[in-house]
Chains A and B, each alone.
Chain A
Amino acid sequence: MHTLFKSTIAIAGMTAISLLSANTAHAKVDGDTITLGSAISFTGKYSTNGIHAKNGYDLAIKKINEAGGVKVAGKSYKLKVKYYDDESTPARTAQLLERLVKQDGIKFFLGPYSSATTKAAAPIIEKYKVPMVEAEGASRSLFTKGYRYLFAVLSTSEQYLASAIALAAELAPKIGKKATDIKVAMVFENDPFSLDVRAGVVEDIKRFGMKIVIDDKMPRDLSDISPTLRKVQAVKPDVLVISGHSKGAATAARQIKELKIDVPMIAMTHCEAAKIVKKFAGAVDDFLCPTQWAETLSYKDKMFGSASEYDKLFKATYKGYKNVPYQSAQASAAVQVWKDALQRANSFDPKKVRDALSATNMKSFYGGIKFAKAGNNIAKPMVLRQIQNGKFVVVAPSKWASHPVNFPRKPKN
């Protein structure tokens, strides 16, 4: 009767596998639908932004389908996305991408959220030669490996805080100092993206001859940066730089308010995604927040209209957004790139599609999109905004600035 045992296992195994194979029905192009694939963070530490990105993808898909879909070789196709939750874990992203390729037959991809997961995704898509347009992995080391199938619509990490440092150098005289006297305190999350941002900041600081007085990392769960802030109180730097995705931003904003930190310039990434204006109001005034996109910029395209029209549409479609985070805007742009490239390639051959992607040169509500040979977008700058009276206004670069910078910082608690 060992056979009973053995057969139980065998049957269980077969059942499981046949259930699993129920998934293979989706090919990349099926009838009238082109299915894009994406492993993205619905749960885990990146879930907030993962969902912002998903909303961006979905909005663009909806708009494109409403406007007639994608025309390839004379036929109109609707777009669809197959999502899996990578739980904010790079290992899972890699596994799920393989699954999307092998079991689900997907050939065209949208990126995951965060540089860490994108770094795990990149080797896989290179291996299988399936192009991916990603909108949420800014780490510049993604573009130094000679990947040919990875395309990113967003600006790379070293640009995030560069303009803040440059601004500090420029405005130093306002607090009676030279650029080389400026003392910089920084605190970063200990993850691929934030460390790349930090590398960029360190380079800029060196360039201007400034001094780093505090160089801290956040704890793993991004819950508390009060030791760093205590040091800030003791050492009194001129610039405080913070980057820790949305969670780090929320913690920083809260503790800066609690501890009444007073530093002439505070620059932080992910302000909008962390909804700090909504949560902390006056206490976050005069924060400098780099952004990939702003609804006040004068970009526009035929499908979404202007940046502010996109902003309105997004807020109407998804409840609870006081500011539309750039993570959503760039996700929508990624889908736009796919439409544009597929139509130009006029075929579903992966190689033709890849070449079409590489030749992308388009304008969108999100900004210009043109890929360098390495795959990063060289047609769109990073923009620096400041929170003034509870609103985000563009203060740098000067071509796009709508308001002057408030410096030094005067918060209202």
Chain B
Amino acid sequence: MFGNLQILYAAPMLNLQLIIDGVLIGAIFALAAYGLALVWGVMNVKNLAQGDFVILGGYIAWYAQKTWGIHPIVMMPAVMVILFIFGWLLYITIIRLVINRDLFTSLLATFGLGLVIQQALNLAFGPEVQVATSGLETRTFFAGLQIAEIKVISLVLCSVLALIIILFMKRSRMGQAIRATSQDARAARIMGIDTDKVYAFTFSLNSAICGAAGVLIAMTWNIQPFYGITYSIRSFVIVTAAGLGNLPGVIIAALGLGAAEQYGGFILGLELQVAFLLIMLLGVLGYRQIQMAKLRQVVQ
């Protein structure tokens, strides 16, 4: 570990590299996390299959490229539509039934769902790690700083997507309906909003967002049927850190997590990748506890 710290100290550009790498990948985490925040905030469903939706999206893009040569970025809207429909179907069959149950039901049901998705992907595509090629280069800048073009493009796409979603939530009727339902479902129903449809839409929207994230992940990193759980944990960490309604918070937390992971992986070694995530999770939760305690003190 100290050897690694020494390397960081001796090569300052490396620090910048790690931060940039982290921020670029964090943008994609932010997408998946925001979707989770939506579903959690509006429907109180804690979707443990979040990461598996991401991987699923990645596989669709990869498969399309492998079979028909369609470039993943071109495929992205299609992936989003496919996953939207998928999410809708899931809602009608399973999710609808777990919404108003106790906290654990949604967790376990989505866990089972994740398991099915993982195994189905494994059966369909095999356990190999796959990558979708973007055909883009890695550019080298001053002092050996490397930035892959695809990562920058994915950052741009994430931002565009985030913007579209924000506008949608603010301006469109469905967006307003979603926000109303998340504030008070009963009141929304009284006002004539079909909360069932709102829930279906929210869940499907989440699914689509995850799909988009998956396409980007397939290009910038890699996918494998069982990688989903790590993304699920990441999303939970980010949402926990940021709080549910807080989109800017989600973005900052996600970028921060991305950078922290890069650093942690570098210093501690990647064999402790999940351990590091857990430390982050506990740290964040601990911090929240302290915050809550302080708040309680103030109130008292």
Contact = CB atoms under 8 A, between A and B. Distances in A.
B265 A227 contact: yes
Interface of B: 4, 7, 10-11, 14, 17-18, 21, 122, 126-129, 131, 138, 140, 144, 146, 148, 221-222, 224, 226-227, 230, 262, 265-266, 269-271, 273-274
A359 interface: no
B266 A234 contact: no
B22 to A, nearest CB: 11
A223 B127 contact: no
A230 B17 contact: yes
B115 to A, nearest CB: 14
A254 interface: yes
Interface stretch (A1-9, A42-50, A170-178): A42-50
A250 B127 CA distance: 13
A250 B223 CA distance: 13
A190 B222 contact: no
B45 to A, nearest CB: 27
B7 A227 contact: no
Nearest to A251: B129
Nearest to A258: B138
Interface string A244-278: 00010011001000111000000000000000000
B10 to A, nearest CB: 7
B124 to A, nearest CB: 13
A60 B54 CA distance: 42
Contacts of A44: 127
Contacts of A45: 127
Contact of A48 (B128, B144, B148): B128
A259 B146 CA distance: 8
A230 B18 contact: yes
A212 to B, nearest CB: 10
11 contacts: A43-B127, A217-B269, A219-B270, A220-B274, A223-B224, A230-B18, A231-B4, A231-B7, A234-B10, A258-B148, A259-B146
Interface in A204-242: 216-228, 230-231, 233-235
A84 B274 CA distance: 31
A48 B140 contact: no
Contacts of A216: 269-270
A162 B127 CA distance: 30
Contacts of B17: 230
Contacts of B227: 221, 223
A224 B274 CA distance: 13
Given A221-B227, A234-B7, A251-B222, 20 more contacts: A43-B122, A43-B127, A44-B127, A48-B128, A190-B271, A216-B269, A217-B271, A220-B271, A221-B224, A221-B226, A221-B230, A224-B221, A224-B222, A227-B262, A227-B269, A231-B266, A233-B14, A247-B128, A254-B222, A260-B140
Contacts of B4: 231
A261 to B, nearest CB: 10
